[in-house]
Chains A and B, each alone.
Chain A
Amino acid sequence: MSDLAISAVVRQRPTIAKWMGALFNPWPHALVTILAAAVVSYGAVELVRWAVIDATFRAATPDDCRAAGGACWSMLRARYNIILFGSYPPEEYWRPTATVLLVLGLLVASGFRTLWKPWLAFAWVATMIGSAVLMSGGLPGLPDVPTSKWGGLPLTVGLSAFGIILALPLSVLIALGRRSQVGVVKRFCDAYVEIVRGLPLLAVLFVASTLLPLLLPFGGNVDTVLRAQIALVLFQAAYLAEAIRSGLEAVPRGQSEAAASLGLPDGLVSRLVVLPQAFRIALPAIINTFIESIKDTTLISVIGLVDVLGGARGAIADGVWMGFYGEAYLAVGAAFFAFCFILSLHSRRLEEDFARERR
């Protein structure tokens, strides 16, 4: 079928009559339709009753909430700070807030191709250093806040964003290494990817947290947050390397041969001809890895770091607002969904961008 024929089929909108036909004819279809509709609408009504009608938005005490019976959104109002910032000192909340906005801003900016210039890399390096200084302080006007007090959103956003940004260059090297003609390099990169992909992230984090200080002479001095960051970078790099290698494999051999026949040296063939195309092809897979890594950061609770999810668990364990699990977890779920969805939209826009260019 030609492209024209396909778009003609797609453009034909299904009519109401066709919908009805599919849903109610023959009779077993009707039965299933009615049953499914009943279950879904019952669930929806109950959800609305809990989340809106019976919910409490401005209760002063948990007992007011319990009396109302529905969702207790005032719990979030009272304890949002624990979920978002963990144990960070309240008078310094502007610092984690600024850090999160800085990182998210740069992340959004990085999704626009017009901004893909060398300075973007410098901007990321500057943001990494800036966030670390802003969070830990130690300058005049910025009191010292040890990493043991960090928590919540800055950890989740920082560890996942910096993790992927640092893993990206590493993964390009590994992906190129796996296609290398030099046996040692190829075997090392193969082994790296296979070993890391064969380990659960939980185990990698646990090793980074507990074995590192024993195995390295200076390991005891490496901060816990930094250890988690290193573990995440090493872990994501293996997955990203595979995403990029799939892109490299998809670039027709003719491309590099043509470039070579024009007299380009090997390094430039990779840099100017193969990698840009490979990157474009691998983009959905790269963003996919990123989205996964955001959710993977919740595992840092196993090494005692408090991410957004850990913050939520803390907020419902403080005695006063105990037991409102649903509300806290829904809020955290909504935050994660928002991040991941923004990234998805970004990825889709980028793909369309590339597709337009190719036409």
Chain B
Amino acid sequence: MNAFRRTSANLLGCIAAIAAAGALLAPVDASAGKVMDGIRQKGNLVCGVGQAVPGFSAPAANGDLAGIDIDFCKSMAAAVLGDATKVTYRQTSYSDRFVLLASGEIDVLVHDTTTTLNREGAQKARFTSPNYFDGYTFMVAKSLGVDSPDKLADATVCILQGSTFEVNTENFFKSRGLKYTPLVLGTWEQLDAAFFGGRCDAFGGNYGNLAGSRAAHGNASDYIIFPEFITLEPYAPAVYGGDDELFLTARWVMFALVEAERLGITQANVKEMATSSTNPEIQQLLGKTPGNGKDLGLPEDWVVKVVSAVGNYGESFERNLGKSSPLMLDRGLNALWTKGGLMYAAPLR
């Protein structure tokens, strides 16, 4: 079974490589702005999103996809087309997402995707600033009496098979000269069952996923997830290299969401602020003082459209991942820089 899985993974990798090579040969995106032109022509943005990723992209009760990644897709459509509903969601798998981006099947990829050098350098993805800072860490039961990953000596650790998590864990324990017993399983559901069934002391994974599992078991206060991250996993939206116009739009939509939060612009008050605010920063962000829209090739009220559709970054976070969602994540690294987090917007001027 392992051999089979490995073979099919290799095979997929091989096909992906062929497809990527084909994409390079194919005469697409020669001129900048071609993808953006296509979006405008279709009047529709094709957004590659995850399948069933709690808090990022998962169907709500009425079947519509919801999550922080979905919110970014809506923001893009609101900025470019003036209408957040003009999005076609293409659910992608972890194995084909970059191939689809390269082949132009999707315009924007928002799929809890970590920004890495290889993905930008070799696979020609272009990432905006992160919409969620995640990191690899461990979850333990409070009753274990361990308050830091450094004290996990001789622990049995549940880890996902075939992921970078295995390497991360090995490196972590080796660098501290600690012994541990890995319990490697094939799917997240199996790991979940093993950890909550008491088969391992610690559960290794990205903070967001661990918090999702913890919330699903209903007794969140019995477990702690260490805030010390072993590796950083900054999730960011991406477009394919070659279309500067689309890339800049994605990059500044992300910044605008964060800046709106810092300036206290919300879904509820954005329309009013756009007309009545006397703060020059807000006037410029919301287009009362023109210029930003023209520089990006967008209507001057693009930020008004974006914030009316999904709220500011903080609102989107709270709704999908934060205290008003079942995941109940802390803002942590995803708080504004003014509140000790990493969320920071370059000046929109």
0/1 interface trace, chain A 304-321, chain B, CB 8 Å (1 if under)? 111000110111111110
Residue of A at shortest CB range from B56?
A317
Residue of A at shortest CB range from B87?
A148
Contact B59 A87 (CB under 8 A): yes
Query: Is B216 among interface residues, defined by CB-CB distance under 8 A?
Result: yes
Within 8 Å by CB of B22, from A87, A88, A202, A211, lies A211
Residues of B within 8 A of A66 (CB): 217-219
Known: A148-B90, A314-B59. A203 touches B11 (CB 8 A): yes
Contact A211 B54 (CB under 8 A): no
Known: A86-B63, A88-B63, A210-B100. A322 touches B54 (CB 8 A): yes
Known: A87-B65, A302-B93, A313-B52. A211 touches B326 (CB 8 A): no
Residues of B within 8 A of A211 (CB): 15, 18-19, 22
A87–B59 Cα distance when bound, in Å, is 7
Contact A148 B88 (CB under 8 A): yes
Query: Is A115 among interface residues, defined by CB-CB distance under 8 A?
Result: no
Contact B51 A313 (CB under 8 A): yes
Interface size on B, residues (CB 8 A): 50
A212–B93 Cα distance when bound, in Å, is 17
Residue of B at shortest CB range from A304?
B91
Query: Is B156 among interface residues, defined by CB-CB distance under 8 A?
Result: no
Chain A: minimal CB distance from B300 (Å): 31
Residues of A within 8 A of B93 (CB): 301-304
Residues of B within 8 A of A82 (CB): 59, 61, 63
Query: Is B75 among interface residues, defined by CB-CB distance under 8 A?
Result: no
Query: Is A207 among interface residues, defined by CB-CB distance under 8 A?
Result: yes
Residues of A within 8 A of B53 (CB): 317
0/1 interface trace, chain A 243-257, chain B, CB 8 Å (1 if under)? 000000000000000
Chain A: minimal CB distance from B144 (Å): 21
A316–B53 Cα distance when bound, in Å, is 10
Chain B: minimal CB distance from A193 (Å): 20
Residues of A within 8 A of B15 (CB): 203, 206-207, 210-211
Chain B: minimal CB distance from A63 (Å): 6
Residue of B at shortest CB range from A213?
B103
A318–B216 Cα distance when bound, in Å, is 11
Residue of A at shortest CB range from B321?
A319
Residues of B within 8 A of A206 (CB): 12, 15, 95-96
Contact B59 A322 (CB under 8 A): no
A218–B99 Cα distance when bound, in Å, is 18
Within 8 Å by CB of B326, from A304, A310, A320, lies A320
Residue of A at shortest CB range from B44?
A146
Known: A302-B93, A323-B192. A90 touches B62 (CB 8 A): yes
Residues of A within 8 A of B64 (CB): 87
Contact B105 A213 (CB under 8 A): yes
A117–B282 Cα distance when bound, in Å, is 73
A88–B19 Cα distance when bound, in Å, is 31
A151–B89 Cα distance when bound, in Å, is 13
Residues of A within 8 A of B26 (CB): 214
Contact B60 A318 (CB under 8 A): yes
Which A residues from 283 to 312 make CB contacts under 8 A with B? Answer: 301-306, 310-311
Q: Which of B15, B53, B212 has the most CB of A within 10 A?
A: B15
Query: Is A215 among interface residues, defined by CB-CB distance under 8 A?
Result: yes
A21–B289 Cα distance when bound, in Å, is 95
Contact A322 B326 (CB under 8 A): yes
Query: Is A347 among interface residues, defined by CB-CB distance under 8 A?
Result: no
Which A residues from 43 to 100 make CB contacts under 8 A with B? Answer: 62-63, 66, 78-79, 81-82, 85-90
Query: Is B77 among interface residues, defined by CB-CB distance under 8 A?
Result: no
A332–B58 Cα distance when bound, in Å, is 18
Contact B61 A317 (CB under 8 A): no
Chain B: minimal CB distance from A331 (Å): 15
Residue of B at shortest CB range from A65?
B218
Residues of A within 8 A of B217 (CB): 66, 323
Contact B54 A319 (CB under 8 A): yes
Residues of A within 8 A of B218 (CB): 62-63, 66
Which B residues from 266 to 281 make CB contacts under 8 A with A? Answer: none
Residues of B within 8 A of A209 (CB): 96
Which A residues from 202 to 241 make CB contacts under 8 A with B? Answer: 202-203, 206-207, 209-211, 213-215, 220, 224
0/1 interface trace, chain B 142-182, chain A, CB 8 Å (1 if under)? 00000000000000000000000000000000000000000
Within 8 Å by CB of B325, from A79, A203, A220, A319, lies A319
A87–B87 Cα distance when bound, in Å, is 14
A220–B58 Cα distance when bound, in Å, is 26
Query: Is A28 among interface residues, defined by CB-CB distance under 8 A?
Result: no
A315–B52 Cα distance when bound, in Å, is 8
Contact A315 B59 (CB under 8 A): yes
Which B residues from 50 to 102 make CB contacts under 8 A with A? Answer: 51-55, 58-66, 88-93, 95-96, 99-100
Chain B: minimal CB distance from A56 (Å): 13
A258–B178 Cα distance when bound, in Å, is 82
Chain A: minimal CB distance from B161 (Å): 17
Residues of B within 8 A of A303 (CB): 93, 96
A133–B3 Cα distance when bound, in Å, is 43
A200–B8 Cα distance when bound, in Å, is 8
Residues of A within 8 A of B100 (CB): 210, 304
Chain B: minimal CB distance from A208 (Å): 11
0/1 interface trace, chain B 17-40, chain A, CB 8 Å (1 if under)? 011001100100000000000000
Contact B90 A224 (CB under 8 A): yes
A146–B85 Cα distance when bound, in Å, is 13
Query: Is B327 among interface residues, defined by CB-CB distance under 8 A?
Result: yes
Residues of B within 8 A of A318 (CB): 54, 58-61, 66
Known: A302-B93, A304-B90, A310-B52. A203 touches B105 (CB 8 A): no
Query: Is A325 among interface residues, defined by CB-CB distance under 8 A?
Result: yes
Within 8 Å by CB of A86, from B59, B61, B216, lies B59
**Contacts A213-B105, A305-B91 supplied; 12 other A-B pairs, CB < 8 Å:** A146-B88, A149-B63, A200-B11, A210-B105, A214-B23, A214-B103, A303-B96, A313-B52, A314-B51, A318-B58, A320-B61, A320-B326
A-B contact pairs, 11 of them (CB 8 A): A66-B219, A81-B62, A86-B63, A87-B59, A90-B62, A206-B96, A210-B99, A210-B105, A306-B91, A319-B325, A323-B213
